[in-house]
Amino acid sequence: MSKQTFSGLALIRRALTGHRDWRPQWRKAAPKPAYDAVIVGGGGHGLGAAYYLAREHGITNVAVLEKGWIGGGNTGRNTTIIRSNYLFDESAALYDHSVKLWENLSQELNYNVMFSPRGVMMLAHTVHDIQVFKRHVHANRCNGVDNEWLEPEEAKAFCPPLNIEGNMRYPVLGAALQRRGGTARHDAVAWGYARAADALGVDIIENCEVLGIRRDAAGRVEALETTRGVIRAGRVGVSAAGNTSAVLGLAGVRLPLESYPLQALVSEPVKPIFPCVVMSNTIHAYISQSDKGELVIGAGTDAYTSYTQRGALHINTHTLDAICELFPTFRRMRMMRNWGGIVDVTPDRSPIIAKTPVPGLYVNCGWGTGGFKATPGAAHVFAWTIARDEPHPINAPFTIERFRDGHLIDEAAAAAVAH
Protein backbone atom coordinates (compact mmCIF):
# COMPACT_ATOMS: atom_id res chain seq x y z
CA MET A 1 0.00 0.00 0.00
CA SER A 2 3.02 2.24 0.31
CA LYS A 3 2.82 5.06 -2.16
CA GLN A 4 5.44 5.70 -4.81
CA THR A 5 7.40 8.81 -3.97
CA PHE A 6 6.83 11.69 -6.31
CA SER A 7 9.88 13.80 -7.09
CA GLY A 8 11.82 15.22 -9.99
CA LEU A 9 14.29 12.40 -9.59
CA ALA A 10 11.58 9.74 -9.67
CA LEU A 11 10.27 11.35 -12.83
CA ILE A 12 13.67 11.29 -14.50
CA ARG A 13 14.28 7.71 -13.45
CA ARG A 14 10.99 6.53 -14.91
CA ALA A 15 11.48 8.56 -18.05
CA LEU A 16 14.16 6.02 -18.95
CA THR A 17 11.63 3.20 -18.84
CA GLY A 18 8.78 4.96 -20.55
CA HIS A 19 6.93 5.68 -17.31
CA ARG A 20 5.68 2.13 -17.37
CA ASP A 21 5.86 1.33 -13.69
CA TRP A 22 3.77 4.12 -12.21
CA ARG A 23 1.07 2.53 -10.12
CA PRO A 24 -2.47 3.78 -9.63
CA GLN A 25 -2.46 6.82 -7.41
CA TRP A 26 -5.21 5.24 -5.36
CA ARG A 27 -6.63 1.72 -5.39
CA LYS A 28 -10.01 0.99 -6.94
CA ALA A 29 -11.30 -0.37 -3.67
CA ALA A 30 -14.41 -2.49 -3.44
CA PRO A 31 -16.47 -1.81 -0.34
CA LYS A 32 -15.81 -3.97 2.70
CA PRO A 33 -18.78 -4.99 4.82
CA ALA A 34 -17.81 -2.69 7.66
CA TYR A 35 -15.61 0.27 8.52
CA ASP A 36 -14.81 2.16 11.66
CA ALA A 37 -15.77 5.35 9.89
CA VAL A 38 -17.25 6.22 6.53
CA ILE A 39 -17.08 9.58 4.83
CA VAL A 40 -19.86 10.34 2.38
CA GLY A 41 -18.63 12.59 -0.40
CA GLY A 42 -15.34 12.25 -2.27
CA GLY A 43 -14.49 15.88 -2.71
CA GLY A 44 -11.49 17.60 -1.18
CA HIS A 45 -13.29 17.98 2.15
CA GLY A 46 -14.27 14.31 2.38
CA LEU A 47 -10.98 12.89 1.13
CA GLY A 48 -9.11 15.26 3.39
CA ALA A 49 -11.17 14.19 6.40
CA ALA A 50 -10.39 10.55 5.64
CA TYR A 51 -6.71 11.38 5.35
CA TYR A 52 -6.61 13.22 8.67
CA LEU A 53 -8.61 10.47 10.40
CA ALA A 54 -5.94 8.02 9.34
CA ARG A 55 -2.98 10.30 9.75
CA GLU A 56 -3.78 12.17 12.94
CA HIS A 57 -6.21 9.94 14.76
CA GLY A 58 -5.00 6.49 13.81
CA ILE A 59 -8.38 5.54 12.39
CA THR A 60 -7.40 3.80 9.17
CA ASN A 61 -10.33 1.45 8.63
CA VAL A 62 -12.10 4.17 6.74
CA ALA A 63 -13.99 4.40 3.45
CA VAL A 64 -14.82 7.41 1.35
CA LEU A 65 -17.99 6.89 -0.68
CA GLU A 66 -18.35 8.97 -3.82
CA LYS A 67 -21.41 8.68 -6.00
CA GLY A 68 -19.48 9.75 -9.12
CA TRP A 69 -15.78 10.32 -9.54
CA ILE A 70 -13.70 11.90 -6.80
CA GLY A 71 -13.25 15.63 -6.99
CA GLY A 72 -16.11 15.88 -9.48
CA GLY A 73 -18.31 18.15 -7.41
CA ASN A 74 -17.48 21.63 -6.27
CA THR A 75 -13.83 20.66 -5.71
CA GLY A 76 -13.39 20.41 -9.46
CA ARG A 77 -15.72 23.25 -10.36
CA ASN A 78 -14.60 26.22 -8.33
CA THR A 79 -12.34 29.15 -9.08
CA THR A 80 -9.74 27.99 -6.50
CA ILE A 81 -9.50 31.22 -4.54
CA ILE A 82 -7.79 30.83 -1.18
CA ARG A 83 -7.88 33.53 1.49
CA SER A 84 -8.60 33.92 5.18
CA ASN A 85 -9.37 37.61 5.62
CA TYR A 86 -12.77 37.04 7.15
CA LEU A 87 -14.26 39.45 9.64
CA PHE A 88 -15.33 37.50 12.65
CA ASP A 89 -12.85 35.83 14.97
CA GLU A 90 -14.49 32.45 14.50
CA SER A 91 -14.24 32.63 10.71
CA ALA A 92 -10.74 34.06 10.64
CA ALA A 93 -9.55 31.25 12.90
CA LEU A 94 -11.10 28.58 10.69
CA TYR A 95 -9.91 29.94 7.36
CA ASP A 96 -6.48 30.87 8.63
CA HIS A 97 -6.07 27.37 10.02
CA SER A 98 -6.72 26.31 6.46
CA VAL A 99 -4.25 28.71 4.88
CA LYS A 100 -1.55 27.46 7.22
CA LEU A 101 -2.23 23.91 6.10
CA TRP A 102 -2.24 24.99 2.45
CA GLU A 103 1.23 26.40 2.89
CA ASN A 104 2.64 22.89 3.55
CA LEU A 105 0.15 20.75 1.74
CA SER A 106 2.24 19.80 -1.30
CA GLN A 107 5.04 18.58 0.96
CA GLU A 108 2.72 16.87 3.40
CA LEU A 109 0.90 14.95 0.66
CA ASN A 110 3.96 14.57 -1.62
CA TYR A 111 1.68 15.88 -4.36
CA ASN A 112 2.10 19.28 -5.96
CA VAL A 113 -1.20 21.04 -5.31
CA MET A 114 0.35 24.20 -6.74
CA PHE A 115 -0.60 26.45 -3.86
CA SER A 116 0.34 29.86 -5.16
CA PRO A 117 0.04 32.67 -2.63
CA ARG A 118 -0.05 35.39 -5.26
CA GLY A 119 -2.27 37.72 -3.26
CA VAL A 120 -6.02 38.22 -3.17
CA MET A 121 -7.20 41.76 -3.67
CA MET A 122 -10.78 42.76 -2.85
CA LEU A 123 -11.97 45.98 -4.44
CA ALA A 124 -13.91 48.74 -2.72
CA HIS A 125 -16.24 50.78 -4.92
CA THR A 126 -18.27 52.84 -2.46
CA VAL A 127 -17.73 54.70 0.77
CA HIS A 128 -19.61 51.88 2.45
CA ASP A 129 -17.20 49.32 0.95
CA ILE A 130 -14.28 51.28 2.34
CA GLN A 131 -15.78 51.22 5.81
CA VAL A 132 -16.46 47.51 5.61
CA PHE A 133 -13.05 46.61 4.21
CA LYS A 134 -11.18 48.73 6.71
CA ARG A 135 -13.09 47.01 9.46
CA HIS A 136 -11.87 43.72 7.97
CA VAL A 137 -8.32 45.00 7.69
CA HIS A 138 -8.23 46.08 11.33
CA ALA A 139 -9.95 42.96 12.63
CA ASN A 140 -7.61 40.73 10.61
CA ARG A 141 -4.51 42.59 11.74
CA CYS A 142 -5.50 42.21 15.36
CA ASN A 143 -6.22 38.52 14.73
CA GLY A 144 -2.80 38.00 13.17
CA VAL A 145 -4.24 37.53 9.69
CA ASP A 146 -2.52 39.54 6.99
CA ASN A 147 -4.74 42.01 5.18
CA GLU A 148 -3.76 45.50 4.16
CA TRP A 149 -5.47 48.51 2.69
CA LEU A 150 -4.36 49.77 -0.73
CA GLU A 151 -5.18 53.08 -2.33
CA PRO A 152 -6.36 52.83 -5.95
CA GLU A 153 -2.89 53.55 -7.38
CA GLU A 154 -1.38 50.88 -5.17
CA ALA A 155 -4.06 48.46 -6.29
CA LYS A 156 -3.22 49.15 -9.91
CA ALA A 157 0.47 48.69 -9.23
CA PHE A 158 -0.32 45.28 -7.77
CA CYS A 159 -2.61 44.38 -10.66
CA PRO A 160 -1.69 46.41 -13.76
CA PRO A 161 -4.73 45.54 -15.93
CA LEU A 162 -7.04 47.08 -13.33
CA ASN A 163 -8.99 50.13 -14.45
CA ILE A 164 -8.97 52.83 -11.77
CA GLU A 165 -10.25 55.65 -13.96
CA GLY A 166 -13.00 57.83 -12.58
CA ASN A 167 -15.24 57.20 -15.60
CA MET A 168 -16.32 53.84 -14.22
CA ARG A 169 -19.84 53.56 -12.92
CA TYR A 170 -18.43 52.37 -9.60
CA PRO A 171 -14.83 53.59 -9.53
CA VAL A 172 -12.23 51.66 -7.58
CA LEU A 173 -11.79 53.56 -4.34
CA GLY A 174 -9.26 51.20 -2.85
CA ALA A 175 -8.70 47.56 -2.05
CA ALA A 176 -7.97 45.13 0.74
CA LEU A 177 -5.05 42.86 -0.08
CA GLN A 178 -4.21 39.58 1.56
CA ARG A 179 -0.78 38.64 0.28
CA ARG A 180 -0.89 35.11 1.71
CA GLY A 181 -4.05 34.43 -0.27
CA GLY A 182 -3.91 32.90 -3.71
CA THR A 183 -4.95 29.85 -5.66
CA ALA A 184 -4.23 26.13 -5.89
CA ARG A 185 -4.82 23.37 -8.43
CA HIS A 186 -8.22 21.98 -7.50
CA ASP A 187 -7.97 18.49 -9.01
CA ALA A 188 -4.61 17.95 -7.39
CA VAL A 189 -6.13 18.58 -3.99
CA ALA A 190 -8.61 15.75 -4.44
CA TRP A 191 -6.08 13.42 -5.98
CA GLY A 192 -3.35 14.30 -3.51
CA TYR A 193 -5.57 13.59 -0.51
CA ALA A 194 -6.91 10.45 -2.17
CA ARG A 195 -3.43 9.10 -2.82
CA ALA A 196 -2.19 9.94 0.66
CA ALA A 197 -5.30 8.54 2.35
CA ASP A 198 -5.13 5.40 0.24
CA ALA A 199 -1.54 4.85 1.28
CA LEU A 200 -2.67 4.93 4.91
CA GLY A 201 -5.28 2.25 4.21
CA VAL A 202 -8.36 4.29 3.41
CA ASP A 203 -10.68 2.76 0.80
CA ILE A 204 -11.81 5.21 -1.84
CA ILE A 205 -14.96 3.87 -3.41
CA GLU A 206 -16.22 5.66 -6.49
CA ASN A 207 -19.56 5.20 -8.23
CA CYS A 208 -21.13 4.45 -4.88
CA GLU A 209 -24.20 6.44 -3.96
CA VAL A 210 -25.73 6.41 -0.51
CA LEU A 211 -29.41 5.43 -0.63
CA GLY A 212 -30.23 5.03 3.04
CA ILE A 213 -28.87 5.51 6.55
CA ARG A 214 -29.68 2.75 9.02
CA ARG A 215 -29.87 3.47 12.74
CA ASP A 216 -29.91 1.07 15.67
CA ALA A 217 -32.51 0.88 18.41
CA ALA A 218 -30.81 3.67 20.29
CA GLY A 219 -30.96 5.86 17.22
CA ARG A 220 -27.26 5.63 16.52
CA VAL A 221 -25.90 5.33 13.01
CA GLU A 222 -25.33 1.71 12.16
CA ALA A 223 -24.92 1.28 8.42
CA LEU A 224 -25.29 2.88 5.03
CA GLU A 225 -27.32 1.43 2.22
CA THR A 226 -25.53 2.15 -1.00
CA THR A 227 -25.67 1.31 -4.67
CA ARG A 228 -22.83 -1.07 -3.88
CA GLY A 229 -24.48 -2.78 -0.96
CA VAL A 230 -24.84 -2.24 2.76
CA ILE A 231 -21.79 -0.86 4.51
CA ARG A 232 -21.69 -0.91 8.28
CA ALA A 233 -20.10 1.96 10.13
CA GLY A 234 -20.49 3.38 13.59
CA ARG A 235 -19.38 6.80 12.51
CA VAL A 236 -20.46 8.56 9.36
CA GLY A 237 -19.25 11.97 8.28
CA VAL A 238 -21.11 13.68 5.47
CA SER A 239 -19.26 16.12 3.20
CA ALA A 240 -21.67 16.22 0.31
CA ALA A 241 -21.85 19.95 -0.45
CA GLY A 242 -24.93 20.71 -2.55
CA ASN A 243 -26.39 17.27 -1.87
CA THR A 244 -26.06 17.43 1.92
CA SER A 245 -29.77 18.05 2.53
CA ALA A 246 -30.63 14.96 0.53
CA VAL A 247 -28.08 12.74 2.30
CA LEU A 248 -28.93 13.89 5.82
CA GLY A 249 -32.60 13.70 4.97
CA LEU A 250 -32.03 9.92 4.81
CA ALA A 251 -31.43 10.08 8.57
CA GLY A 252 -34.29 12.47 9.18
CA VAL A 253 -31.96 15.39 9.91
CA ARG A 254 -33.15 18.74 8.67
CA LEU A 255 -30.66 21.48 8.02
CA PRO A 256 -30.83 25.21 7.37
CA LEU A 257 -29.49 24.79 3.86
CA GLU A 258 -30.50 25.76 0.37
CA SER A 259 -28.65 24.64 -2.74
CA TYR A 260 -28.06 27.16 -5.50
CA PRO A 261 -26.37 27.02 -8.90
CA LEU A 262 -23.03 28.76 -9.05
CA GLN A 263 -21.27 29.28 -12.36
CA ALA A 264 -17.73 29.93 -13.41
CA LEU A 265 -15.99 30.32 -16.72
CA VAL A 266 -12.55 30.44 -18.27
CA SER A 267 -11.18 32.36 -21.21
CA GLU A 268 -8.90 30.97 -23.86
CA PRO A 269 -5.34 30.74 -22.52
CA VAL A 270 -3.04 33.71 -23.01
CA LYS A 271 0.46 34.52 -21.88
CA PRO A 272 0.78 35.81 -18.28
CA ILE A 273 -1.21 39.01 -17.95
CA PHE A 274 -2.84 38.75 -14.54
CA PRO A 275 -0.57 38.37 -11.53
CA CYS A 276 -2.99 37.95 -8.63
CA VAL A 277 -6.58 37.27 -7.64
CA VAL A 278 -9.06 40.14 -7.78
CA MET A 279 -12.50 40.05 -6.24
CA SER A 280 -15.25 42.63 -6.32
CA ASN A 281 -18.25 41.76 -4.23
CA THR A 282 -20.00 45.00 -5.07
CA ILE A 283 -20.13 44.45 -8.81
CA HIS A 284 -19.77 40.66 -8.64
CA ALA A 285 -16.53 39.66 -10.31
CA TYR A 286 -13.82 37.24 -9.29
CA ILE A 287 -10.83 36.68 -11.52
CA SER A 288 -7.39 35.13 -11.63
CA GLN A 289 -5.23 33.52 -14.30
CA SER A 290 -4.51 29.81 -14.20
CA ASP A 291 -1.05 28.39 -14.75
CA LYS A 292 -2.33 27.23 -18.15
CA GLY A 293 -3.04 30.84 -19.02
CA GLU A 294 -6.83 30.92 -18.84
CA LEU A 295 -8.55 33.78 -17.08
CA VAL A 296 -10.62 32.03 -14.43
CA ILE A 297 -13.74 33.98 -13.64
CA GLY A 298 -16.39 33.36 -11.02
CA ALA A 299 -19.98 34.42 -11.48
CA GLY A 300 -22.70 34.93 -8.91
CA THR A 301 -25.27 32.39 -7.82
CA ASP A 302 -28.55 32.11 -9.62
CA ALA A 303 -31.61 33.36 -7.77
CA TYR A 304 -33.33 30.00 -7.32
CA THR A 305 -32.45 26.67 -5.76
CA SER A 306 -31.45 24.01 -8.23
CA TYR A 307 -29.49 20.81 -8.55
CA THR A 308 -28.95 21.04 -12.30
CA GLN A 309 -25.34 22.23 -12.15
CA ARG A 310 -26.08 24.90 -14.68
CA GLY A 311 -27.21 28.48 -14.50
CA ALA A 312 -28.60 31.26 -16.60
CA LEU A 313 -26.92 33.18 -19.38
CA HIS A 314 -27.77 36.53 -17.79
CA ILE A 315 -25.70 35.63 -14.75
CA ASN A 316 -22.67 35.26 -17.03
CA THR A 317 -23.38 38.40 -18.99
CA HIS A 318 -23.56 40.31 -15.73
CA THR A 319 -20.27 38.85 -14.58
CA LEU A 320 -18.56 39.72 -17.83
CA ASP A 321 -20.02 43.24 -17.65
CA ALA A 322 -18.13 43.63 -14.43
CA ILE A 323 -14.94 42.03 -15.74
CA CYS A 324 -14.91 44.26 -18.82
CA GLU A 325 -15.60 47.31 -16.69
CA LEU A 326 -12.73 46.53 -14.34
CA PHE A 327 -10.40 45.29 -17.07
CA PRO A 328 -11.36 46.95 -20.36
CA THR A 329 -8.36 45.34 -22.08
CA PHE A 330 -10.09 41.97 -21.67
CA ARG A 331 -13.13 42.81 -23.79
CA ARG A 332 -11.64 41.04 -26.80
CA MET A 333 -10.78 37.96 -24.79
CA ARG A 334 -13.13 35.07 -25.35
CA MET A 335 -15.02 32.70 -23.11
CA MET A 336 -13.81 29.17 -23.73
CA ARG A 337 -15.85 27.19 -21.26
CA ASN A 338 -18.56 27.81 -18.70
CA TRP A 339 -19.84 25.40 -16.08
CA GLY A 340 -21.91 25.22 -12.96
CA GLY A 341 -21.83 23.69 -9.52
CA ILE A 342 -24.28 23.40 -6.65
CA VAL A 343 -23.49 25.34 -3.54
CA ASP A 344 -25.20 24.74 -0.23
CA VAL A 345 -25.86 27.99 1.54
CA THR A 346 -26.70 28.60 5.21
CA PRO A 347 -28.68 31.59 6.48
CA ASP A 348 -25.54 33.21 7.91
CA ARG A 349 -23.28 32.18 5.03
CA SER A 350 -20.99 30.35 7.44
CA PRO A 351 -20.48 26.58 7.35
CA ILE A 352 -21.68 23.88 9.69
CA ILE A 353 -18.97 21.46 10.89
CA ALA A 354 -20.62 19.61 13.66
CA LYS A 355 -22.29 16.66 15.27
CA THR A 356 -25.88 16.13 14.23
CA PRO A 357 -28.81 15.14 16.44
CA VAL A 358 -28.16 11.56 15.30
CA PRO A 359 -25.37 9.94 17.33
CA GLY A 360 -22.48 8.88 15.15
CA LEU A 361 -23.54 11.15 12.28
CA TYR A 362 -21.46 14.24 11.55
CA VAL A 363 -21.76 16.91 8.92
CA ASN A 364 -19.47 19.35 7.18
CA CYS A 365 -21.57 21.56 4.92
CA GLY A 366 -22.92 25.00 4.18
CA TRP A 367 -19.80 26.37 2.56
CA GLY A 368 -21.72 28.34 0.01
CA THR A 369 -19.39 29.79 -2.57
CA GLY A 370 -16.26 29.54 -0.43
CA GLY A 371 -15.59 25.91 0.41
CA PHE A 372 -12.46 25.25 -1.62
CA LYS A 373 -10.26 27.62 0.35
CA ALA A 374 -11.22 25.87 3.56
CA THR A 375 -10.53 22.34 2.29
CA PRO A 376 -7.53 21.39 4.44
CA GLY A 377 -8.69 23.22 7.56
CA ALA A 378 -12.26 22.01 7.43
CA ALA A 379 -11.18 18.45 6.67
CA HIS A 380 -8.73 18.60 9.56
CA VAL A 381 -11.22 19.76 12.19
CA PHE A 382 -13.96 17.55 10.75
CA ALA A 383 -11.74 14.51 11.21
CA TRP A 384 -11.10 15.61 14.78
CA THR A 385 -14.84 15.95 15.39
CA ILE A 386 -15.51 12.48 14.02
CA ALA A 387 -12.60 10.88 15.82
CA ARG A 388 -13.32 12.40 19.23
CA ASP A 389 -17.06 12.89 18.98
CA GLU A 390 -16.53 16.49 19.94
CA PRO A 391 -15.59 19.56 17.97
CA HIS A 392 -12.09 20.94 17.69
CA PRO A 393 -12.01 24.39 19.33
CA ILE A 394 -11.86 25.95 15.88
CA ASN A 395 -15.11 24.44 14.66
CA ALA A 396 -16.90 24.54 18.01
CA PRO A 397 -18.88 27.68 17.04
CA PHE A 398 -20.00 26.19 13.70
CA THR A 399 -22.87 24.13 15.05
CA ILE A 400 -26.38 23.50 13.78
CA GLU A 401 -27.72 24.76 17.10
CA ARG A 402 -26.39 28.26 16.53
CA PHE A 403 -29.42 28.93 14.38
CA ARG A 404 -31.74 27.99 17.21
CA ASP A 405 -29.83 29.97 19.76
CA GLY A 406 -29.09 33.03 17.66
CA HIS A 407 -25.30 32.73 17.77
CA LEU A 408 -24.91 33.39 14.08
CA ILE A 409 -21.55 34.03 12.44
CA ASP A 410 -22.95 36.32 9.82
CA GLU A 411 -20.15 37.30 7.46
CA ALA A 412 -22.63 38.30 4.77
CA ALA A 413 -24.75 40.54 6.95
CA ALA A 414 -21.62 42.14 8.30
CA ALA A 415 -20.56 43.15 4.82
CA ALA A 416 -23.56 43.58 2.65
CA VAL A 417 -26.07 46.06 3.97
CA ALA A 418 -25.86 49.40 2.21
CA HIS A 419 -27.22 52.57 3.71
Partner 1 sequence: MLLISCPYCGDRPEIEFTYGGQAHLVRPADPSALDDQQWAEYLYMRTNTKGVHAERWRHARGCGRFFNALRDTTTDRFAATYKIGAARPDPAASEPTPGTAR
Partner 2 sequence: MSVWRTPGGGRIDRTQRRKFRFDGRDYQGVAGDTLASALLANGVHLVGRSFKYHRPRGLLSAGAEEPNGLVTVRRDAARVTPNLRATQVELYEGLDALSQNRWPSLQFDVGRINDWLSPLFPAGFYYKTFMWPKGAWKSLYEPVIRRAAGLGVAPTEPDPDRYAQCYAHCDVLVAGGGAAGLAAALAAADEGARVILCDEQNEFGGALLSDPQATINGAGGQAWVDQALAELSANPRVTLLARTTAFGYFPHNLLGLNERLTDHLSAPPAGRARERLWQVRARSVVLATGAIERPVVFPGNDRPGILLAGAARTFLNRYGVRVGTRAVLVTAGDDAYQAALDLHAAGVSIAAVADLRPQAEGALPTAARRAGIEVLTSATVLGTLGGLRVNEIVLGELDGTGGVRRKRTVRCDAVLMSGGYTPSVHLFSQSRGKLAWNEPLQAFLPDRSAERERSVGACRGIYDLAGVIDDGFAAGAEAASGRSGRRRSVSAHSAGGDGSAFLGAVPLAGASSDKSFVDWQHDVTVKDLLLATREGFRSIEHVKRFTTTGMATDQGKTSNLNALSIVAGALEVPIPQVGLTSFRMPYTPTTFGSFAGASRGDLFDPVRKTPMHDWAATEGAVFEDVGLWKRARYFPRGGEGMHEAVARECLAVRSACGIFDASTLGKIEVVGADAAEFLNRLYVNNWSNLAVGRCRYGILCREDGFVYDDGVVARLAPDRFHVTTTTGGAARVLAMMEDYRQTEWPELAVWLASTTEQWAVIAVQGPKSRDLLQGLVEDIDIGAAALPHMSVAHGRICGVPGMVMRVSFSGELGFEVNVPADYGLGVWRAIHARGEKDITPYGTETMHVLRAEKGYIIVGQDTDGTVTPDDAGLAWAIGKSKADFVGKRSLQRASMHAPMRKQLVGLKSRDGRTILEEGAQVAEIPGQKPPMRLIGHVSSSYYSACLAHPIALALVAGGRARMGTTLYVPMPGGDIEVEVVPPVFYDPSGARIHA
SS (H, E, C) 166-184: CCCCCCCCEEEEECCCEEC
Q: Does 356 bind partner 1 (CB under 8 A)?
A: no
Binding test (CB under 8 A) with partner 2, winner from 30, 32, 56, 142: 142
Window 85-104: residues binding partner 2 (CB under 8 A): 89, 93, 104
- Side-chain half-sphere exposure of 256, counting CA atoms within 13 A: 16
Measure the CA–CA gap between 177 and 100, rounded to whole angstroms. 17
Q: How far is the CB of 345 from partner 1 (least distance, A)?
A: 10
Measure the CA–CA gap between 199 and 4, rounded to whole angstroms. 9
Q: Does 339 bind partner 1 (CB under 8 A)?
A: no
Measure the CA–CA gap between 245 and 256, rounded to whole angstroms. 9
Binding test (CB under 8 A) with partner 2, winner from 1, 217, 218, 418: 418
Binding test (CB under 8 A) with partner 2, winner from 2, 33, 217, 271: 271
Binding test (CB under 8 A) with partner 2, winner from 3, 57, 100, 128: 128
Strands 81-82 and 34-40: unpaired
Q: Does 167 bind partner 2 (CB under 8 A)?
A: yes
Q: Does 24 bind partner 2 (CB under 8 A)?
A: yes
Stretch that binds partner 1, among 2-10, 66-74, 184-192, 402-410 (CB under 8 A): 402-410
Window 265-304: residues binding partner 1 (CB under 8 A): 303-304
| Sign of the Cα pseudo-torsion (182, 288, 25, 74, in order) | positive
Q: Does 47 bind partner 2 (CB under 8 A)?
A: no
φ, ψ of residue 329 in degrees (nearest 5):
-75, -15
Q: Does 30 bind partner 2 (CB under 8 A)?
A: no
Report helix, strand or coil for 48: helix
Q: Which residues contact 413 (CB under 8 A, 6 or more apart)?
A: 348
Give strand pairing partners of 180.
none
Q: Does 338 bind partner 1 (CB under 8 A)?
A: no
Q: Between 4 and 305, name the residue whose CB sits nearer to partner 1.
A: 305
Report helix, strand or coil for 40: strand
Report helix, strand or coil for 248: helix
Query: Binding mask 280-319 vs partner 2 (x if CB under 8 A, - otherwise)?
Result: ---x-----x-xxx--------------x-x-xx--xx--
Q: Does 132 bind partner 2 (CB under 8 A)?
A: yes
Q: Where are the beta strands (DSSP E) in 192-257?
A: 203-205, 210-215, 221-226, 229-238
φ, ψ of residue 298 in degrees (nearest 5):
-100, 140
Tell me which residue of 168, 348, 171, 328 sits closest to 258, measured CA to CA.
Answer: 348
Q: Count CB-CB contacts under 10 A for residue 409.
A: 21
Q: How far is the CB of 330 from partner 1 (least distance, A)?
A: 24
Query: Binding mask 206-235 vs partner 2 (x if CB under 8 A, - otherwise)?
Result: x-----------------------------
Q: Does 346 bind partner 2 (CB under 8 A)?
A: no
Q: Between 312 and 396, name the residue whose CB sits nearer to partner 2.
A: 312
Q: How far is the CB of 247 from partner 2 (least distance, A)?
A: 21
Q: Does 307 bind partner 1 (CB under 8 A)?
A: yes
Q: Which residues contact 407 (CB under 8 A, 6 or more apart)?
A: 397
Binders of partner 2: how many residues, by CB under 8 A?
116
Q: Does 72 bind partner 2 (CB under 8 A)?
A: yes
Binders of partner 1: how many residues, by CB under 8 A?
23
Q: Which of partner 2, partner 1, none does residue 337 bind (CB under 5 to 8 Å by kind)?
A: partner 2
Q: Which of partner 1, partner 2, none does residue 110 bind (CB under 5 to 8 Å by kind)?
A: partner 2
Give strand pairing partners of 317.
none
Binding test (CB under 8 A) with partner 2, winner from 12, 58, 217, 218: 12
Q: Count CB-CB contacts under 10 A for residue 220.
A: 14
Range list of H helices, 7-43: 8-15
Contact positions vs partner 1 (CB under 8 A): 243, 245-246, 254-259, 303-308, 312-314, 344, 347, 403-405
